[in-house]
Structure 1
Amino acid sequence: MRAGRATRRAAAVIALVGCPAVVAVPAIWMFCVDEQVRQWGIVACLAVVLGCLTAVALRQRGAGHRNGVDTFAALRPVPAHTPHAAGPPALPSKLPARRPAQLRGAAAVFCCTTAVLGFAALGAGDAERPAPVDGIAAAGGVIQDVRVTGVRNSERHNPSRGRDYYTAVSVVALPHAGTGENVPATVSTHTPEPLRPGSKVTVLYAPSKPDLGAVQGLPGPLRAALDGAPLAPGARTALLVIWLLGAGFMSGLQVVHSGGVRTLTRWTAHDRAVRGRCTGDGVSQLPPHTEKSGRKEASRKLDQLVIGTDGGEVRFVLDEATDGYAEQLGAESLWLCWRAGQKDGQQLEPAVLVGDSGWVLHGQVVRTEAERLAEESGTGTPGEAGAPVDAQREVHLWDPRAGWPLRVRRGAMIAAVAALALAGLLATTSLGAGRWWAAVGGVLCALGAAGAEALSTAWRAAAADGSGGAGSPSSTPAR
């Protein structure tokens, strides 16, 4: 059990250090204009994340790589061994909250989404200012409208989407700060309208050294280039909005997938409790459900523990793979508790398992099965005679996900290291045409690292379908 506590502490420390480092990378890239500070800051953050991955690898080396079942077993709270005079132990008056575990899951999803979108931001910008801009900025560059004196090779472009634009090789007159004379310079122009001699264009140039040439563009991107920002203001704003909304949406989906904001911590008059024990685990399918609005929801896969009671079997749903969990629960007697009377349209209701040895496992139950069970005489409301409550009894949370450092797949860690290398390359080097290829490679590595667990769960569910287990209440009997 000491190993379980050490694993929980290691997971908490790694998450506390690693998550801010991941989030800081795109934030520094978007808002830090000093090139040296930006590059060293991002490299430092990537080094912190690499240190976290090293800590995970060392933890696995010391404790051994585990699968989900082994990790779940290692995290089991120490049995209280409290003697009971007669009958089953009473329910505790207060249950450990599931909210911290949900917030940790949401933070993990936020970081994974940030890593994917961060590569889009890294690919859209450039780590170094182009050579012409760098020289002009060093000589005291300014942004100014200048007169066009000559145009050649003007060409109209008609993209499939968006407005037409024109490119040309133009000669502009750059005012010299010392002499006041106009110095001709040849620039490549990109404008919404065709240019003619006498037209005005906005350029970046050095008034004291107009012989360095000029760079034409819009004022915003030119200002960003002059300041040293890797992204133009419009691109930065768009990426920031996509990042916050996308990562926030995915984090919200994770909270919903893990049971939503409803949870059981204190008993109410709507709660029900019944004695039972785990009789199996596996995967089953929740049939399609038609809401009152007429919209039909798709069928859902349920990672379940099957709880046998005097009134029949009930599926206790977890938000992760449960194969082999029934063996860990064994034949221990427990309380199955759930909150009835939730709003219409919900197919699952919040529930907990309270083991006689002093552990609590949060999850959900299928509503129709809970309603059927509530009609049986064996159920009761916590605090009444059928389900007594003991204010002195203490129970501890059994969180299946708390041991993630022991079960992270090595392939996922290799993909994460490759993503870190590509992120460092994009943040410190101007790769030219190969920049987007590196960004796409980073996205694939980040998705591979983040999706390893989800893919393994999907493959396991598909295997259960192929074996006929998905249609039965229990696909893996307890031993």
Structure 2
Amino acid sequence: MSAGTDPRRVDAAVRRLPALLRVAAAGPLAAFAGLLVWIAWGDPDQRFALLLGLLGLAGGALLVLAAHRLVAGRVHPADAARAVLDSPSGVVPSRALPAAVPPERGGRLWSGATTTVLACWALGFLFLAWGDPRPPAQVEEIRRAGGIVAEVPVIGQLSSEHDRAVVRGNRVPSSDTWTQTLQVELTDEAGEAHTAVIRTRSSFHRSLGDTVRVIYAPSAIHLGAWVGEDSRPLTKSWSSNFEGYQEDLPRILDGRTLSAYELWIWAGLTVVPLAFVVTPWFRVGRHGPVTRPGPGTRALRGTVRSGHVRSEDGRGVAFLPNGLAPGNLSPALEGRTGWLLWNAEKPREHLRSPGKKRGKKLPAVVTGRETGAVLVLDNGWAVHGDAWFPAPEDPAGVGVPGPEAPAVDKRRRVRLWAPRGLWPLTLSNGALVLYAVVLVCGGLLFTDVLSGWLRFATALVGAGSLGLAYVSHYPEQDDRFAAKE
């Protein structure tokens, strides 16, 4: 145990861990639902109420975690892991190698989904600042009066300004714009015509008889007509105008926050965090995980010493658990006996560039090889991770072939444990504060209290706080591969 750690307090905290994980799941779920509401919900008042409810759900989960921290204190990952591995696994202890080990699909899927949602939220802060919490005041009045989007004829011109486009000193007539004050004809519910004045920017000179799309209420003609400041089509304004173009007027009338153009940008940026989730899944599918001692696997029985599974003849293989830095889990595994099973086929090579010699780049040097593995302890617990072999050691040259391992027991069952699930106990106090800052920033951006650069500054604070909080789940976030070199 760490200095000053009460074993009974740690055991009690570990028993509460499943409930804490369920409560903590409210955060990512509320975040995902909030993104959908922000994107798709039209009525601003209803949307604000829903977002406040989801914000309260996430805030309630955070309060539960904070209250548990005040009552139980913080638990070091090594102490929490030791408490888990010391507890009964629910299966019969055995020295045999099981014929099958449960895959870590559920844990990896939930971890990947959580990472994706939080990464999307971090990017989403930019679009929370960019979006429109409420439509323009005139549009709100028109919407309440039963507003519609309609093509109306131009019946007069009061003023016109021609902006001649010049790119790098050359005239580009196709990019010219006209800013005009126009008179348009609106038709009320009775079919009578009325005149309204609008001012907008167009990609061509609008003349008598042309039409323009506007928002107006046939039952309240006195409210006038509303048109975006830039009425150029998206194909003409994509580099400078992200909302308010002619095709965007139905969205503005509905009260939705983001234009189709902004949603496409958001979707494009979301591909980045998704790639970080999909790539590990592809890697695991190609090189592991190891779930049975089948062809291409190797097995080594031994005792865990300083992060290595060492056999009686002194051979050792480094084991790196999934989801937790080796320095956080190694103390809990120290002295335990069991089997290490790994995939010896097509290990991932880690390369290092030796630099240049006489101006020529030297070939990369292999520093080691990594492959999917599972540690099966005699007490019935199993932990997925990776096995590490420093160069020039060959993963296929250590241990015995999996199918030939002695004492393979087809009846033996093991219980899988994922160390990444310890985070509600190990979350730093600073991370709790940062998550609270995230909720406050999100709540401010749900409203129109802030505008201009203050909205974007708040978004940056929220995104930065979310990133810092997520990487502060464990007190020792050391390099996963630091123990390899």
Q: TM-score, normalised by structure 2?
A: 0.77
Question: What residue in structure 2 maps to residue 62 of structure 1?
Answer: 71
Question: What residue in structure 2 maps to residue 302 of structure 1?
Answer: none
> 2:103 touches 2:289 (CA, 8 Å); kept in 1?
yes
Question: What residue in structure 1 maps to residue 383 of structure 2?
Answer: 361
Q: Which of 114, 139, 161 matches 2:120?
A: 114
- In 2: Cα distance, 1:369 partner to 1:123 partner: 50
- In 2: Cα distance, 1:211 partner to 1:361 partner: 71
**Residue-pair matches, total:** 433
> 2:98 touches 2:292 (CA, 8 Å); kept in 1?
no
How far is the alpha carbon of 1:25 from its aligned partner? Answer: 0.5
- In 2: Cα distance, 1:82 partner to 1:36 partner: 54
Matched, 1:381 2:394: no
Q: Kindly tell me: are residues 196 and 399 of structure 1, through their superposed partners in 2, closer, same or farther at Cα, counting changes over 3 Å?
A: same
- In 1: Cα distance, 2:281 partner to 2:272 partner: 14
> 2:44 touches 2:134 (CA, 8 Å); kept in 1?
yes
Structure 1 stretch displaced more, 360-369 or 192-201: 192-201
Matches within 5 A, 1:175-190: 175-177=186-188, 178=190, 180-185=192-197, 187-190=198-201
Question: What residue in structure 2 maps to residue 330 of structure 1?
Answer: 334
Aligned to 1:361, the other structure's residue is in SS state: strand
- In 2: Cα distance, 1:343 partner to 1:330 partner: 26
How far is the alpha carbon of 1:182 from its aligned partner? Answer: 4.0
Matched, 1:221 2:233: no
> 2:153 touches 2:211 (CA, 8 Å); kept in 1?
yes
- In 1: Cα distance, 2:409 partner to 2:91 partner: 12
Aligned to 1:102, the other structure's residue is in SS state: helix
Question: What residue in structure 2 maps to residue 293 of structure 1?
Answer: none
> 1:81 touches 1:357 (CA, 8 Å); kept in 2?
no
Q: Which of 383, 398, 414 matches 2:417?
A: 398
Q: Kindly tell me: are residues 422 and 338 of structure 1, through their superposed partners in 2, closer, same or farther at Cα, counting changes over 3 Å?
A: same
Q: Kindly tell me: are residues 164 and 426 of structure 1, through their superposed partners in 2, closer, same or farther at Cα, counting changes over 3 Å?
A: farther
> 2:77 touches 2:474 (CA, 8 Å); kept in 1?
no
How far is the alpha carbon of 1:118 from its aligned partner? Answer: 2.4
Q: Kindly tell me: are residues 216 and 57 of structure 1, through their superposed partners in 2, closer, same or farther at Cα, counting changes over 3 Å?
A: same
- In 1: Cα distance, 2:224 partner to 2:304 partner: 78
Aligned to 2:100, the other structure's residue is in SS state: coil
> 2:17 touches 2:425 (CA, 8 Å); kept in 1?
no
How far is the alpha carbon of 1:164 from its aligned partner? Answer: 4.1
C-alpha RMSD of the superposition: 3.6
Aligned to 1:214, the other structure's residue is in SS state: coil
- In 2: Cα distance, 1:160 partner to 1:12 partner: 57
Q: Which of 41, 45, 49 matches 2:54?
A: 45
- In 2: Cα distance, 1:213 partner to 1:239 partner: 34
Q: TM-score, normalised by structure 1?
A: 0.78
CA offset digits 1:335-378 (Å, max 9, x no partner): 221122237868421112222233222111135669646435xx
Letter in 1 for 2:249: L
Q: Which of 434, 438, 447 matches 2:458?
A: 438
Aligned to 1:424, the other structure's residue is in SS state: helix
Question: What residue in structure 2 maps to residue 348 of structure 1?
Answer: 370
CA offset digits 1:75-129 (Å, max 9, x no partner): 2252579999xxx811123223222221121022012112113223322221112
CA offset digits 1:411-461 (Å, max 9, x no partner): 22222212212222222335332433333332222223223359962xx44
> 1:31 touches 1:229 (CA, 8 Å); kept in 2?
yes
Aligned to 1:118, the other structure's residue is in SS state: helix
CA offset digits 1:162-190 (Å, max 9, x no partner): 984636351323335258344242x3312
Letter in 2 for 1:389: V
Q: Kindly tell me: are residues 159 and 111 of structure 1, through their superposed partners in 2, closer, same or farther at Cα, counting changes over 3 Å?
A: farther
> 1:147 touches 1:201 (CA, 8 Å); kept in 2?
yes
> 1:154 touches 1:194 (CA, 8 Å); kept in 2?
no
> 1:311 touches 1:373 (CA, 8 Å); kept in 2?
no
Question: What residue in structure 1 maps to residue 157 of structure 2?
Answer: 150
Question: What residue in structure 1 maps to residue 104 of structure 2?
Answer: 98
Structure 1 stretch displaced more, 395-404 or 174-183: 174-183
Question: What residue in structure 2 maps to residue 294 of structure 1?
Answer: none
Matches within 5 A, 1:203-214: 203-214=214-225
How far is the alpha carbon of 1:221 from its aligned partner? Answer: 1.5
How far is the alpha carbon of 1:404 from its aligned partner? Answer: 0.7
Aligned to 1:323, the other structure's residue is in SS state: helix
Question: What residue in structure 1 maps to residue 262 of structure 2?
Answer: 235
> 2:295 touches 2:403 (CA, 8 Å); kept in 1?
no
Aligned to 2:446, the other structure's residue is in SS state: helix
> 2:301 touches 2:340 (CA, 8 Å); kept in 1?
yes
Structure 2, unaligned runs of 5 or more: 1-9, 229-244, 351-368
Q: Which of 292, 297, 300 matches 1:266?
A: 292
> 2:297 touches 2:343 (CA, 8 Å); kept in 1?
yes
Aligned to 1:183, the other structure's residue is in SS state: strand
